[in-house]
A and B are shown apart, each in its own frame.
Chain A
């Protein structure tokens, strides 16, 4: 009897998530707004000229001090939007401090960087350019190099009616990055009503994702990226891992508040299927191991192997069209 009550109450809780706006998926009648994950849509309203200029700049090593690195060096659009290293390599072989996140869908993040110090894509794009261990440039030099180029000079004049500036360079790059949305994933197809888009295991994986509560933090269209959370809620991840770095302090580096220690921006899981290493420290190469760690430290549970497998299968189904596949 108590069991029944408990189940009933819990069910009640579950079903008490009343939707506020009803969005009906065309085929299956699934109420999208009730789902923690929303499908991605192709971005609209972006200035085509800025996108083209941003794309050119994204691939152009001219932004780095020794012209050896471009944005694409660490955010490889053909390899899932990152360099798959626990620490990126900057100019002259300098090692960065943190795992470079994927540039794909980064437009959907509510802030940029693991510690959320950049409020926008534009602000983020300026970071690596002047970071001594990344591109190591200074804005005056970058602007001089860009102004000296007749094509860049002409493009900037045509679009921004001025010579290249920090503001216009980051604006162009950010505009280009806004186009990097990985639409057409199988999971999005499932969300839109195509039940056949996912296999039974993948569907099971999604259910587990929700029931385990992964979806309480990894939610929204970007499956994450819209809130801060402490890494190691129900267990001390850092104590167990050891070798603390300043990067591990997370948001504390920005706000200085104790409550923000080890607090990071919840990363998007859309591109986890493209390969590791995972977490801000890139400590785990294998997705299954990452899921297990998440279970342990965020949920306080050891997840069964079968469930982990299903979860991994589900996570792989989140991969959508990347740059090489798009025309």
Chain B
């Protein structure tokens, strides 16, 4: 059976599930962040596959924007983590339950 759109979508769904599992289970903020990146990449794979089989370039343009926004998001998120660590000496989700520093 030759590889088609369904195969790519299945890989994308499984990767998304792994990322979701990481966000739910791991309590270290940095690992939750990495799992978020995994979920974004899974969505990108689905978009590129749809784009190829739909014969339309808009999906790839979307992925281009997603990658750019993800880079900006990582920069700000990691800066927040550094600021949090400087104040609280922790990066665990369980220790960050109040909004007041």
Do A and B form a real pair?
no
